[in-house]
Structure 1
Amino acid sequence: PAEIKVCVFIRECSSLFDIEECILFAELNKIRLNRAKKADKDAARKTQSPPPNTGMPPFGMDGPPPDFFMTDDERAGLPPIESVEQPAQLTSEILQEREIVRILINYGDYLATWEGDGDIPVAGLLLGNISDIEFKDKAAAYILNVYREAAEKYEIPDTKQFYSNSDPAIADLAINCVASKYSLSENWNDDKRKIYVTQEYEHLKQLVVTAIYRIKKRKIEAEMHHIREEMKHEQDVANLEVLIFKYQKLKEAERLLGGFLGNTIVK
């Protein structure tokens, strides 16, 4: 919902500028009120002096005000923002890509303590393992590329830039990555119950490794599908043997990853 996104944005601004959230909310409400007043004045002005020979009834009679279906930017005369095209449906492939982005945004600056000397950030470990994979979801691909460019400079990007991105699809994805869908009741861990619920970051190794294995398995499955299509049309015996050899190697890798993930391979 839009209000959840506003709350997340206000919280980030409060942390960034060291201003109390209540002050920011008050200023936001003032802006909204001024916009509403301006829209009412514009509508009233247009109804008082309608353009000649339009054939349109004045506001208040048979239709909504002239700017009823306009956005705030359109009312202000700003050009429309060209947004990243949203996918028609959320496939498992896109969901896997967005899970990678979610981990990068939430835990990219955490240390992968289980890897080597434990001084490698999660972002570096994750990016290093998926360097050969390109995302199809455009919003996720944009965020991934920002992380890749930052990694080349041994840096981790500031996630705040994604929340305020001019493209709604990118901003929505980033905000959804940090907005928790569920909240634990304060009574759950009170003096009476004392029930401790583990947090996601406490299982970071499993989270990161599983995400890497799943997206690699998807890439292998895509390559296997491509080879199967090639084998259907290949006439040369020698080339066919090469394709079969490649397919068998990929099949072994698929079984191995499936074992790690607990999947049953039936193909």
Structure 2
Amino acid sequence: MIDKATIDRVMETAQSQITDVISEFISLKKRGINYIGHCPFHNEKTPSFIVSPHKGIFKCFGCGKGGNAVNFLMEHEQISFVDAIKTLGRKFHIPIEEKEATPEEMVKQNERESMMVVTNFAARWFTKNMFETDEGQSVGLGYFKQRGFDAEIIKKFQLGYSPDNKDAFTRQATIEGYKLNFLEKTGLTVVRDDYKADRFRGRVIFPIHSLSGKVIAFGGRILKSDAKAAKYLNSPESEIYHKSKILYGIYFARQEMTRQDRTYLVEGYTDVLSFHQAGITNVVASSGTALTPDQIRLIARFTPNITIIYDGDPAGIKASLRGIDLILEEGMNVKVLLLPEGEDPDSFAKKMSGDELRRYISENETDFIKFKTSILLADSNNDPIKRAQLIQDIVKSISVIPDQIIRSVYVKECSTLLQVEESVLYSEIGKIKKKQRDKEAGRTAYKEKTEEPVPQNQPTAITASSKNPLDAEEKEILRFLLKYGHLDLGEVDLGDKKAVMLVGEYIVNELRQDELKSENPVYNLILEEYEEQMKTSDFIANKYFISHSNPDISQLATDLIAREYPLSKIHKKHGVIKSDTDLLAILVPKVVLELKWKLVKLKLEQTRMKLQQAEKQGNMEEVMELIKEMSLLQNVFKLISLQQGERTII
């Protein structure tokens, strides 16, 4: 457990340095007093992710996620609150002191954390085995040295070796207290009934790191000749490792990807290692798997520019062409470098210095149109049918580009290269897009047709499980509470007396005296904590709730505080009001009345429906009670409407 004072210190430091925290994971650009970038939590073409250093918050106006630096780490890295605090503590050199966990707390450690502990142990064990055993030095270390990798690269990437023994790792792990259950779930140990064996035995090990640098999986290359065994073997999918969502080397490349505003994409582990050894670190690998949209979006967090580096294998190149279309579809800029025949990125990088390699790439990389055209034209052999298919293939690639201007540039280039009229190409693009629209429309129609119809003859009842009908009004009240609760509202008429009150005091008093509660439990929690905390002299609501350990509360507070409401044209025209703080005496009572007006209106509608049902059923006793209730509600509704001065009385 971490003491509250340490947590508060970490939270305060992280809040003041939130841009520094988030920029380690995505590329941010300054825009006014804020920073903007592509949201890492959903797919977007236009950046809508805002970081506000002044407020210490982030907010995506596309998917709605928001919060403080701790919330960001928890969501982005899928880690617990405690782990996020520890990570930020290390970053800002804040000592984290913990009391010893009880047996009950140890039991409660979640599965994901346990798996992380196991993979971290395995990475250390594989490395130690390679450097400190005879077999590891002669076989594992010998292999890496033979491939030309120096000690610095080997240690940087935590390379290792698993001995050619059935269960050497598994036995040592269980001796040191690691449970077989988690050894199996991480894929380190293969378990079948009474059979237990090391998955990576007899292989050199390439640890796979998450964005935050934690080992989440492994790749292993076999060293002996075995026709039945795969040359490369990866960890299976697990709670902590999804191969379609991670790229090898991303942890070591991310900062340079942002600085260079470009990513080099290669295929294998050793390709990445050789580039790093040459001094080029903005390089990642798909690890031999087909490129996926999630991997492309991962790159897009740091830069929109990708150069794919292929070796001279024609079959591999053709199989990879689909990846280019996926990159284009994500709105990114892609270039391609085809290495000389017989070379791969690993071997090629070893033949020249980093500067020479950068220069070679810069001088020889080409855009995807020229690359794809040259590859496909070689197969057409002047056959008109094959040539027509080639044109259709390239047009299909151009059609997925979301940016119209970039699309038009490629159309012009394609027209020149293939000697086809631009109008013909645009016509083909139009056909492709229409076909796609029709396909999407068909899916929508099918979905609407198969959805269960809503009964039309039943009255709509407002229940706790339905959508909160007062959500907008309640959020507006909470916004005033969090942003302006500490400010003076002025003299308030309390019926039998008048009193000078703060905004927060007035709102809490109004809601409590009418016993108003929300259907949203998070709203109620905020109000309860506000009421308790406002008694303390150093309470600052926006800071308190943005830094809240409950991510639901923190995100809601961020959302409310991040909202900006433009002033009316009348106010601007006369230049009377600078901000809504100048109108608190008018606005605060108004938003409270708005909630009460809406609530009474909803109760009137509910009571009216109940009355209609009672009349149909002939229940005269209930009819009389409901008429009395209707009369009371109408009087209250009339009173509130008169106070607002702008409602139609119904």
What TM-score range do you get, normalising by the shorter chain? 0.5 to 0.7
1:204 aligned partner = 584
* Alpha-carbon displacement from aligned partner over 1:86-126 (angstroms, at most 9, x marks no partner): x997x7621111111101101111222121241x2221211
Please give the alpha-carbon distance, in whole angstroms, between the structure 2 residues aligned to 1:88 and 1:205. Answer: 34
| Matched residue, 2:484 | 107
Distance 2:626 2:565 in 1: 48
Q: Return the index of the structure with the highest Cα Rg.
A: 2
Provide closer, same or farther for how the CA distance between residues 53 and 225 of structure 1 changes in structure 2, counting only shifts above 3 A. closer
Which has more helix, going by share of residues? 1
In structure 2, the CA distance between the partners of 1:143 and 1:52, relative to structure 1 (3 Å rule), is closer
Aligned residue among 219, 222, 230 for 1:46: 219
1:170-249 maps to which residues of 2 (within 5 A)? 170-181=553-564, 197-232=577-612, 233=614, 235-249=618-632
1:38 partner letter = G
Q: Report the 3-state secondary structure (helix = DSSP H, G, I; strand = E; otherwise coil) of the residue aligned with 2:55.
A: helix
Q: Deviations over 1:144-180 (max 9, x none)?
A: 22123346x5775643232123444322221222225
What is the aligned counterpart of 1:4 among 43, 51, 62? 51
Aligned length: 218
**Alpha carbons 1:213, 1:257 under 8 Å: kept:** yes
**In the aligned structure 2, how far is the partner of 1:103 from the partner of 1:64?**
44
Sequence identity percentage: 19
1:27-38 matches, cutoff 5 A? 36=211, 38=213
Verify the 8 A CA contact 1:5 1:175 in the aligned structure 2.
no
Q: How far apart are 1:227 and its partner, in Å?
A: 2.2
Q: 1:179 to 1:246 in 2, by over 3 A?
A: same
1:173 partner amino acid: L
TM-score by length of 1: 0.63
Equivalent position SS for 1:112: strand
SS in 1 for 2:233: coil
Q: Identify the match of residue 62 of structure 1 among 283, 290, 298.
A: 290
Aligned to 2:507: 126
Aligned-residue offset at 1:66: 10
Displacement, 1:196? Answer: 5.9
CA contact (8 A) 2:489 2:503 kept: yes
Partners of 1:53 and 1:92 in 2: CA distance: 46
Structure 1 residues 258 and 2, CA, compared in 2 at 3 Å: closer, same or farther? same
Please name the residue that 2:277 is paired with.
none
CA contact (8 A) 2:473 2:595 kept: yes
CA contact (8 A) 2:219 2:235 kept: no
Change (3 A) 1:92 1:205: farther
Q: What secondary structure, in the 3-state scheme, does the structure 1 residue paired with 2:532 have? A: helix
Q: CA deviation at 1:47?
A: 6.4
What is residue 24 of structure 1 aligned with on the other side?
none
Residue type at the aligned position of 1:124:
E
Deviation at 1:250, TM superposition (A): 1.0
CA distance in 1, matches of 2:528, 2:554: 15
Deviates more, 1:161-170 or 1:122-131: 161-170
Structure 1 residue 221, shift from structure 2 partner: 2.0
Flag the structure with more relative contact order, 1 or 2, with Cα contacts below 8 A and sequence separation at least 6: 1
**Equivalent in the alignment of 1:93:** 470
TM-score (structure 2 length as normaliser)? 0.29
Deviation per residue, 1:203-247 (Å, 9 max, x gap): 111111111111111221232233223323264535433321221
SS of the aligned residue for 1:50 comes to strand
Residue type of the partner of 2:628? F
Change (3 A) 1:59 1:35: closer
The answer on whether the counterparts of 1:220 and 1:250 sit within 8 Å (CA) in structure 2 is yes
The 3-state SS of whatever aligns with 1:177 is: helix
Counterparts of 1:130 and 1:108, CA distance in 2: 14
Pair 67,61 (structure 1): closer, same or farther in 2 beyond 3 Å: closer
CA–CA distance in 1 between the matches of 2:236 and 2:56? 46
Q: Is the 8 A contact 1:47 1:59 kept in 2?
A: no
Range moving further from structure 2, 120-129 or 2-11: 2-11
Tell me which amino acid in the other structure corresponds to 1:59: S
1:182 CA drift (Å): 6.7
The AA in structure 1 aligned to 2:504 is A
In the alignment, structure 2 segments of 5+ residues that lack a partner are 1-47, 59-67, 69-87, 92-208, 222-231, 238-242, 245-285, 299-464, 493-497
Equivalent AA in structure 1 for residue 579 of structure 2: Q
- Residues 263 and 46 of structure 1: CA distance in aligned 2, closer, same or farther (over 3 Å): farther
- Alignment check: 8 A CA contact 1:146 1:157 kept: no
Q: 1:176 to 1:46 in 2, by over 3 A?
A: same
Query: 1:129 Cα deviation (Å)?
Result: 1.0
Deviations along 1:51-110, whole A, 9 cap, x unmatched? 4788x897243145999999xxxxxxxxxxxxxxxx997x76211111111011011112
- Displacement after TM superposition at 1:137 (Å): 3.0
Q: Secondary structure at the match of 1:46?
A: strand
- Say if 1:66 and 1:216 are closer, same or farther in 2 by CA, change over 3 A: closer
Structure 2 counterpart of 1:18: none
